[in-house]
Amino acid sequence: MELNTKIKLYLQANSKVYSDEKNNYVLQDDGSGAYIKSWSVSGLAKPSDEQLETYNSAAQTEENNNVIRSTRRNAYGDIGDQLDEIFKNIDDWKARIQSIKDANPKE
């Protein structure tokens, strides 16, 4: 699993906002695995490897659910097409969306 996912969960657990565009840390991988090169999150100490390890299970679930979300998004199709489908027959649209969700359950 990705170190970035564990850091995201660590930040959220400590009431810090995670933003892909504005991370206050830098990751590096010199070939033996990613690690935190620099950390400047105001009011929160850099997590130890042991602290991040406690997020392994939650991070794996988050990454698995991200794959499911992507699969669902692709299967749902274009929002304009969905709106047209809703306009024509909302019950058919609901059934199609539910079948996509049933076929791709989150953890």
Enter the pTM of the model: 0.78
- Residue 59 is part of a domain; what is its CATH number? 3.30.56
pLDDT at position 48 is 96
Tell me the residue range of the domain where 42 lies: 3-76
Count of C-beta atoms within a 10 Å radius of residue 43? 7
Residue 21's pLDDT band (boundaries 50, 70, 90)?
A: low
* Cα gap 15→40, rounded to integer Å: 15
Kindly report, residue by residue over 31-70, the tens digit of the pLDDT.
999 999 999 998 999 999 999 999 999 999 999 999 999 9
State whether the Cα torsion 52-106-76-90 is positive or negative: negative
Arithmetic mean of pLDDT, 78-104: 97
- How many structural domains comprise the chain? 1
Assess if residue 43 is contained within a domain.
Answer: yes
Assess if residue 87 is contained within a domain.
Answer: no
Assess if residue 15 is contained within a domain.
Answer: yes
Q: Closest Cα to residue 5, out of 57, 68, 62, 79?
A: 62
Could you give the 3-state DSSP secondary structure of residue 15? coil
